[in-house]
Amino acid sequence: MTAAKAPQSDSVKTVRSSRTFHIGDATLTAATLDPGLYVVATPIGNLADVTLRALAILAGADAILAEDTRVSRALLARYGIERPLSAYHEHNAAEARPRALRRIAEGQALALISDAGTPLISDPGYKLVSEAIELGFAVIAAPGPSAALAALCVAGLPTDRFYFEGFLPPRSSARRERINALAAVPGSLIFYEAAGRLAETLADLALELGPRPAAVARELTKLHEEVRRGALDKLAAEYAADGAPRGEIVIVVGAAEERAGVSEAVLDREIAEQLTNLSVKDASAAIAAKHGLPRRQVYARALAIAGAQR
C-alpha cells in the first residue's frame, strides 16, 4: 500500500509556485531570495516607474505584505507576478506583525510594499522593520519612487536641505501651531495633504510663514499631473477660488530667508509704527514676514506694546 502523502504546508506551496515576471513579451525567472524582510518601493502612479530589481524581488519573495491587496494586485498583474499577498496596514499590524516575523524565522523572504511609493514614508511598516532588526533578521531596501522627493525635484525650490513633515494636523489651530514650530527650519519644507484641506492648509502656511515661494504637486506621474508654483498666499487664494482638487497632493515650501538680526529696540519701534494703522494681528504678521521671525513671537511682543499704549 502506498503511504498517504502529508498535506503540504503553506510555505511548501509557496516555494513550488511560479517565480517569474513579464516585461513586454519576455518572461524572466526571479532568483531565489535569502530569508529576510525586503522593503520595496513601488510606483506612485505610472506603473512603468517600477525598477527591475523591485520586480525580481516581488516575483522571488515567498509572500508580499501589502497595505491594500486590491491596489497591489494591479501592479502585480501588470507584470505577471503571481505571489501570495497578505494585508499589512495600521489596523491589523498588531496581529499581522508576529505572523510575518514568524515566517521570516522559518526561513522565508517577505516583501513589504505600500499602496504607492516607498514603504514607511507616511505608511505603516516602521515597527515591523524595527522588530525584524531586533531579532537579527536581514532587512534589505529596494529603493525607488517617492512622492516627496519627486515633488521636491520639480518644485523649483532649494534641494540642498529639506525637511519632510508628512501630514499636518487636520484642525486649523493645531496645524498653525505645528507650522509655527517649523518656521525656523533652514531648508525646504515638504508636506502631504488631503485634497479637501489643501486651500485651508495653504492659508495657514501663508499666515505662519508669510509669502514664501511654494509649489503644489498633484497626481505626480499620473495622467492629470499638475504642478503650480507661486507665493503661499497666492496659491491659497487660487485653490480657495477653484475648489478642492482631486488626487494626491504634495506641498513644498521654500526655506526662510536668512536675514540680518534685528534689535529689540528696532523691532519695538517698527511694531509701534505699524500699530498706528493696523490691528495687532496684521501688524505682527507684517513685521514677522519682513524680518523672517516666528509670527507668534512678534504677536506676543505686539500685544505687550499695544497694551502699554492704552
Note the pLDDT tens digit of each residue in 20-70: 999 999 999 999 999 999 999 999 999 999 999 999 999 999 999 999 999
Q: Looking at residues 225-248, what average pLDDT do you find?
A: 95
Amino acid at 47: L
pLDDT at 247: 94
∠ CA 161-292-215, nearest 5°, is 50
Is residue 104 within 8 A of residue 37, CB to CB? The reply is: yes
Q: Is residue 3 predicted with pLDDT exceeding 70?
A: no
pLDDT at 119: 94
* Rounded CA separation 221/159 (Å): 20
Burial of 204 (0-12, 13-18, 19+ CB in 10 A): buried
The torsion defined by the Cα of 122, 128, 134 and 137, in degrees rounded to 10, comes to -120
Helices (H), the chain: 10-16, 52-60, 69-78, 93-105, 126-134, 147-155, 172-181, 198-209, 232-242, 264-275, 280-291, 295-309
Q: Looking at residues 186-195, what average pLDDT do you find?
A: 96
pTM across the whole model: 0.80
Residues 6+ apart with CB under 8 A from 188: 152, 155, 157, 158, 159, 161, 162, 163, 252, 253, 254, 255
Amino acid at 60: G
Which range is least confidently modeled, 97-101, 213-217, 233-237, 260-264?
Answer: 260-264
pLDDT at 190: 98
Q: Looking at residues 202-231, what average pLDDT do you find?
A: 95
The string of DSSP codes covering 127-182 is HHHHHHHHTT--EEEE----HHHHHHHHHTS--SSEEEEEEPPSSHHHHHHHHHHT
Q: Report residue 113 as a C-alpha cell.
A: 510594499
Is residue 218 within 8 A of residue 226, CB to CB? The reply is: yes
Q: Summarize pLDDT for 107-156 with one digit per residue, the tens.
A: 999 999 999 999 998 878 999 999 999 999 999 999 999 999 999 999 99
pLDDT at 14: 41
Which range is least confidently modeled, 12-16, 120-124, 150-154, 290-294?
Answer: 12-16
* Rounded CA separation 108/171 (Å): 43
Q: Is residue 15 predicted with pLDDT exceeding 80?
A: no
